[in-house]
Amino acid sequence: MVATSDIVIEVRDLDFYYGDIKALRGVSLDIKINQVTALIGPSGCGKSTFLRLLNRMNDLIPGTRVEGRVMFEGKNLYDEDVNPVDIRRRIGMVFQKPNPFPKSIFNNVAYGPRLNGIKDKKKLDELVFQSLKQAAIWEEVKNSLDKSALSLSGGQQQRLCIARALAMAPEVLLMDEPTSALDPIATSRIEELVEVLKKDYTVVIVTHNMQQAARVSDDTAFFYMGEMVEMGNTERIFTKPEKQQTEHYITGRFG
């Protein structure tokens, strides 16, 4: 039994529509603080859609509709008086494909703080340093902060994107299949990083890769056909799943 205060995001009866298509049906789950929560399931099951609902990124897609509640620190993110811009500053996101800006490494990381109006060079230097350090990429780029971010390798770019998100000091970090475009070595570096990040952040990670979910997460939620089938402690989900669908998926019978 977890105390309520350990829960950062509480999702209740969430439905989501792309036009007339119902992509999520009645999803309810809790995201716990300083833990890594993995969302797994076959392609098209709604896990990425769900993730993007947690920082209102789906607002950007025309013709979509949300029903239900996403409670973040006692406030429903979909209340009318909530500004999605504020939410995205507090709940950061890392995407499937590394997407650094065509700017220097420094300016990529400083992008967020500058949005917050920070102009002081010393402060920016410090924030960039801290963020790159936290994202475990400082040593590799410390001598080339002025170089274009696009000159980095894919794995480095993804860690830079993580640093960029961390520079906003978000409370929650959403990761949408962050390693699917990376080679195994770059992948393992990101996974190690996730492990470390949960000390300071709450991480929600969508992954296609069940081994990855098993390796990095504390809790796992299994999505299938727009529904959240089962959620629980990762070890339990992978050893003693309660639902047959979950078992079929993790044993590789489909997906």
Partner 1 sequence: MIAATSKRYRLITELVAFWIIRLSAGLVVLTLGGIVLFLLYRGAGAVNWAFLTESPTDAMTRGGIFPAIIGTLYLTIGSSLIALPLGVASAIYLSEYAGDGWTLRLIRLGIQNLAGVPSVVFGLYGLALFVVFFGFGVSILAGSLTLGFLVLPTIIGASEEAIRQVPATFREASLALGATKFQTICRVVLPSATPGVITGSILGVGRAAGETAPIMFTAATFYTRHMPSSPFDQVMALPYHIYVLATSGTHIDQTRPLQYGTVLVLISLVLGINIFAIIIRTRMRRKKTW
Q: What residues make contact with partner 1 under the rule CB under 8 A?
A: 55, 57, 60, 62, 85-90, 92-93, 95, 97, 99-103, 111-112, 115, 148, 150-151, 161, 164-165, 168
**Which of 224, 220, 225, 215 lies closest to 241, judged by CA?**
220
Please, what is the minimum distance in Å from the beta carbon of residue 170 to partner 1?
Answer: 9
Per the CB < 8 A criterion, the answer to whether 185 and 44 are in contact is no
Per the CB < 8 A criterion, the answer to whether 49 and 58 are in contact is yes
- Decide whether 99 or 211 has the Cβ nearer to partner 1: 99
Between CA 99 and CA 158 the distance in angstroms is: 8
Alpha helices, H only, the chain = 47-53, 84-90, 105-115, 121-134, 138-141, 154-166, 184-197, 210-216, 234-239, 244-250
Please, what is the minimum distance in Å from the beta carbon of residue 95 to partner 1?
Answer: 7
Please, what is the minimum distance in Å from the beta carbon of residue 45 to partner 1?
Answer: 21
Please, what is the minimum distance in Å from the beta carbon of residue 89 to partner 1?
Answer: 3
- Decide whether 57 or 229 has the Cβ nearer to partner 1: 57
Strand partners, 66: 16
Please, what is the minimum distance in Å from the beta carbon of residue 76 to partner 1?
Answer: 19
> H or E element: which one contains 11?
strand 7-18
- Decide whether 81 or 139 has the Cβ nearer to partner 1: 81
- Decide whether 173 or 237 has the Cβ nearer to partner 1: 173
- Decide whether 69 or 90 has the Cβ nearer to partner 1: 90
Please, what is the minimum distance in Å from the beta carbon of residue 86 to partner 1?
Answer: 7
- Decide whether 45 or 109 has the Cβ nearer to partner 1: 109
Buried (b) or exposed (e) across 142-159, using 16+ Cβ within 10 A?
Answer: eeebeeebeebeebbbbb
